[in-house]
A and B are shown apart, each in its own frame.
Chain A
Amino acid sequence: MTSIETSEKLKENNKKISENHEDFRIFGLITFLIADGMTFAGFFAAYLTYKAVNPLPDGAIYELELPIPTINTILLLISSATFHKAGKALSNQNNSNSQKWLLITALFGIVFLGFQIFEYFNLPFALTDNLFASTFYALTGFHGLHVTLGTLMILIISWQVRPDGGRITNLNMFPLEAVELYWHFVDGIWVILFLILYLL
């Protein structure tokens, strides 16, 4: 195959991928998120089993306050919406607007993490105090790791979506779509976590 032919094919293929949003890369990502979700499912199952069969020993402290996690839930839900705005803006070829919405989303992520750390410092129990304390930190910590990773990725794509010569354009939306999907996933997990850990 000559190099001219190859580059022709490359163009043709890129066009096909951008025309067809549901390409196999998104499919692969969804599969990965299902796997990731199963890790959380394992943690949740462990937590619920503990709750059912392992009573809190006398004198052990495990109390959670609702205000911070409620604010955090609202923050993440709004951030899902702002991310969606960023995607909309990009497909309308408005890169600077998209960049703005991405940075706002990242800010929400950072504030979420800030609140989370603040909560950690103000809880009346530590990691090794009792079974529920350990499970609480493991679950929220693992989720926080996901938020951290997501925020970093949002910052990276917000750089790549810049109007002058960024890699991500309305013809190459995949990186943005992938991170968006991941971000919605992380938000969804938080909602489940909030229900099970704080409200149940």
Chain B
Amino acid sequence: MTISIEPKNQAKKNLQPKGWLRYFSFSLDHKVIGIQYLVCGFLFYLVGGTLASAIRIELASPMSDFMPRDVYNQVLTLHGTIMIFLWIVPVVNGAFGNYLIPFYVGARDMAFPRLNAVAFWLIPPSGLMLIASYFIDGAAQAGWTAYPPLSITTPQSGQIIWILSVLLLGGSSIFGGINFIATILKLRRPGLKLMQLPMYCWAMLGTSILVVLSTPVLAGTLILLSFDIVANTGFFNPVLGGNVVVYQHLFWFYSHPAVYIMVLPAFGLVSEILPIHCRKPLFGYTTMVFSIMGIVVLGLVVWAHHMFTSGTPPWMRLFFTIATAFIAVPTGIKFFNWVATMWGGRISINSAILFSCGFIINFVFGGITGVALAQVPFDIHVHDTYFVVAHFHYIVYGGSVFVIFSSIYHWFPKASGKLLNEKLGIIHFAITFIGFNLCFAPQHWLGLNGMPRRVAEYDPQFQFVNQISTLGALLMAISTIPFLINVFISIANGKKAGDNPWNALTPEWLTSSPPPIENWEGEAPLVEEPYGYGKSITK
């Protein structure tokens, strides 16, 4: 028999509200929680996107005329914090992880359903609190990195609310990570071996290890920072004998892995989507697994590449440059694996695969600038310029957000039972891809020519290129419209998807769409070859 979840929850589950109301309840069903994460994250994405548009409108002219400087600082702090902690991290981990992982391991739910619901319900209040801080006494102004002494000297209430909110979101993330590790390692269907798991499980296992090891360090650091702000201690306050560089070390010990927390799950999702739409097995499964784990290990020992201008001693620069450059190896392996997966496949051109291809292109570009930034001489030159902004948006937007959209197009039929409109999907992709590259590619040039980031005003010689960038940002904003229309009309009267519209082999497609409460009517299927496409399947 299959490993069943605690029966107590099973009984409780029957008492929970049905229909759309359950998305507003303390539901224990992993599929409901997954969708709660996705919709909640998307709403915050709209907020963060509006803030991004405000930033780009401000930067359309060299003077700070659209908003005052301190408001600009608040807007950019909120933009960064919301996009990272309320959109990408909860969606690539929480949303898709909760929806898919129990299917992939052949379980009926996550290991700790109640902890799972708690982890989700920490998010809306902390997000709303963060946004509300803007209206109370002004939001935090120190950027998403909250570097002291800036974060100590800017107005306190906004910064304290920011810390509280990030602590809660970090807690949510840790609870989620614990749940994923336990589910993947302990709740596997009998007979299912680790090396038979779909790649997203490995990605989530690696990500969750990073979450569990690094997020608590951020939490501890922020607690110390809040002491500096409210209790007048001097941990990070040089005036009181403290050490700002210690903050940077601790902060980046979390925040470099945070990049992988945002992007490793995206790697996993792409590895699920490509084989299905190319009708070929995932190329190099084993190398993929090892490169994920390699990234996890390396990802923990490269943090100081963010601190090359913080007076880091030469041996540290050398070590962190080399370690960072090494990450290009496992990442490159994955890139070639994806290309090899597509090579010679019967590729169906649809929105899901287009967004995945967009991801591959953008991500390679962001990866190359990443390797460049790891080199100390280059990094010192472009540190805190728009080159860095361009680089990480290629990773987190061009990488993770493209994959989120790809995944929505891919799994929407499973979750809703309806197909999305392909025409609108392709329009959505085209505008997003053009808008994104128009917005961020020119920023490399701006950075190389010395335009600093996080400042509302700039040298007038940069105005034209900034306006191109702003145009791109507005296109990105517009691209949301066809997507939203698509989702609403498809839910209302989209084509029926059927159980398995993509003829996929992974377990989530081997049940009805949408799936029943405990995932399968009967026993969970044993999928030993999740990527066995293009071969005659003998059952």
- Let me know if A35 and B212 touch, CB within 8 A: yes
Q: Cβ of A24 < 8 Å from any Cβ of B?
A: yes
With both chains docked as a complex, state the minimum distance between the C-beta of A163 and any C-beta of chain B, in angstroms: 25
**What residue in chain A is nearest B8 (Cβ atoms)?**
A10
For residues 176 through 216 of chain B, which have their beta carbon under 8 Å from a beta carbon of chain A? Answer: 177-179, 181-182, 185-187, 212-216
For residues 201 through 238 of chain B, which have their beta carbon under 8 Å from a beta carbon of chain A? Answer: 212-217, 219-221, 223-224, 227, 231-235
Q: Cβ of A116 < 8 Å from any Cβ of B?
A: no
Q: Collect the chain A residues with CB atoms within 8 Å of residue B214's CB.
A: 38
- Let me know if B250 and A46 touch, CB within 8 A: yes
Whole-angstrom distance between the alpha carbons of A31 and B223 in the complex?
22
Q: Cβ of B89 < 8 Å from any Cβ of A?
A: no
**What residue in chain B is nearest A28 (Cβ atoms)?**
B182
Contact with B along A126-140 (1 / 0, CB 8 A): 011011001100100
Stretch at the interface among A50-58, A152-160, A188-196: A50-58
Stretch at the interface among B241-249, B345-353, B468-476, B480-488: B241-249
- Let me know if A42 and B216 touch, CB within 8 A: yes
Q: Cβ of A45 < 8 Å from any Cβ of B?
A: yes
With both chains docked as a complex, state the minimum distance between the C-beta of A43 and any C-beta of chain B, in angstroms: 6
Q: Collect the chain B residues with CB atoms within 8 Å of residue A130's CB.
A: 234, 241
For residues 4 through 30 of chain B, which have their beta carbon under 8 Å from a beta carbon of chain A? Answer: 4, 6-8, 10-11
- Let me know if A6 and B10 touch, CB within 8 A: yes
Q: Cβ of A13 < 8 Å from any Cβ of B?
A: yes
Q: 12 A-B Cβ contacts within 8 A?
A: A6-B10, A28-B111, A34-B212, A35-B216, A39-B216, A46-B246, A46-B250, A50-B243, A128-B233, A130-B241, A131-B235, A138-B233
For residues 132 through 179 of chain A, which have their beta carbon under 8 Å from a beta carbon of chain B? Answer: 134-135, 138, 142
Q: Collect the chain A residues with CB atoms within 8 Å of residue B7's CB.
A: 6, 9-10, 13
With both chains docked as a complex, state the minimum distance between the C-beta of A51 and any C-beta of chain B, in angstroms: 11
- Let me know if B216 and A131 touch, CB within 8 A: no
Q: What 7 additional pairs, Cβ within 8 angstroms, besides A28-B115, A39-B217?
A: A13-B6, A24-B182, A31-B177, A35-B174, A43-B224, A128-B240, A130-B234
The A/B interface has a contact count, at CB < 8 Å, of: 108
Contact with B along A1-27 (1 / 0, CB 8 A): 000001001100100000000011101
With both chains docked as a complex, state the minimum distance between the C-beta of B89 and any C-beta of chain A, in angstroms: 16
Q: Collect the chain A residues with CB atoms within 8 Å of residue B187's CB.
A: 24
Contact with B along A29-70 (1 / 0, CB 8 A): 001101111111111011001100110010010000000000
Q: Collect the chain A residues with CB atoms within 8 Å of residue B243's CB.
A: 49-50, 53-54, 131
- Let me know if A42 and B250 touch, CB within 8 A: yes
Q: Cβ of B253 < 8 Å from any Cβ of A?
A: yes
Q: Cβ of B112 < 8 Å from any Cβ of A?
A: yes
- Let me know if A6 and B11 touch, CB within 8 A: yes
Partner of B234, one of A27, A45, A46, A134: A134
Decide yes or no: A28 and B233 within 8 Å by CB, A13-B7, A36-B216, A49-B246 being known contacts: no
Whole-angstrom distance between the alpha carbons of A28 and B174 in the complex?
11
With both chains docked as a complex, state the minimum distance between the C-beta of A171 and any C-beta of chain B, in angstroms: 15
Q: Collect the chain B residues with CB atoms within 8 Å of residue A34's CB.
A: 212-213
Whole-angstrom distance between the alpha carbons of A32 and B219 in the complex?
14
With both chains docked as a complex, state the minimum distance between the C-beta of A10 and any C-beta of chain B, in angstroms: 4
Chain A interface secondary structure, helix, strand, loop or mixed? helix
**What residue in chain B is nearest A16 (Cβ atoms)?**
B3
Contact with A along B151-190 (1 / 0, CB 8 A): 0000000000000000000000010011101100111000
With both chains docked as a complex, state the minimum distance between the C-beta of A192 and any C-beta of chain B, in angstroms: 15
With both chains docked as a complex, state the minimum distance between the C-beta of A173 and any C-beta of chain B, in angstroms: 16
For residues 65 through 124 of chain A, which have their beta carbon under 8 Å from a beta carbon of chain B? Answer: none
With both chains docked as a complex, state the minimum distance between the C-beta of A178 and any C-beta of chain B, in angstroms: 13
Q: Collect the chain B residues with CB atoms within 8 Å of residue A28's CB.
A: 111-112, 115, 178-179, 181-182
Q: Collect the chain A residues with CB atoms within 8 Å of residue B115's CB.
A: 28
- Let me know if B227 and A138 touch, CB within 8 A: yes
Whole-angstrom distance between the alpha carbons of A41 and B233 in the complex?
20
Partner of B235, one of A9, A13, A135: A135
Whole-angstrom distance between the alpha carbons of A27 and B227 in the complex?
33
Whole-angstrom distance between the alpha carbons of A138 and B219 in the complex?
13
Decide yes or no: A46 and B111 within 8 Å by CB, A38-B212, A38-B213 being known contacts: no
**What residue in chain B is nearest A41 (Cβ atoms)?**
B217
Whole-angstrom distance between the alpha carbons of A36 and B175 in the complex?
12
Decide yes or no: A128 and B231 within 8 Å by CB, A24-B186, A54-B243 being known contacts: yes
With both chains docked as a complex, state the minimum distance between the C-beta of A14 and any C-beta of chain B, in angstroms: 8
Whole-angstrom distance between the alpha carbons of A6 and B10 in the complex?
9
Decide yes or no: A128 and B234 within 8 Å by CB, A9-B4, A10-B7, A42-B250 being known contacts: yes
Q: Collect the chain A residues with CB atoms within 8 Å of residue B233's CB.
A: 127-128, 134, 138
- Let me know if A42 and B220 touch, CB within 8 A: yes
Whole-angstrom distance between the alpha carbons of A172 and B410 in the complex?
44
Decide yes or no: A13 and B246 within 8 Å by CB, A28-B111, A42-B220 being known contacts: no
- Let me know if A31 and B181 touch, CB within 8 A: yes
With both chains docked as a complex, state the minimum distance between the C-beta of B172 and any C-beta of chain A, in angstroms: 13
Contact with A along B248-284 (1 / 0, CB 8 A): 0110010000000000000000000000000000000
Whole-angstrom distance between the alpha carbons of A127 and B221 in the complex?
17
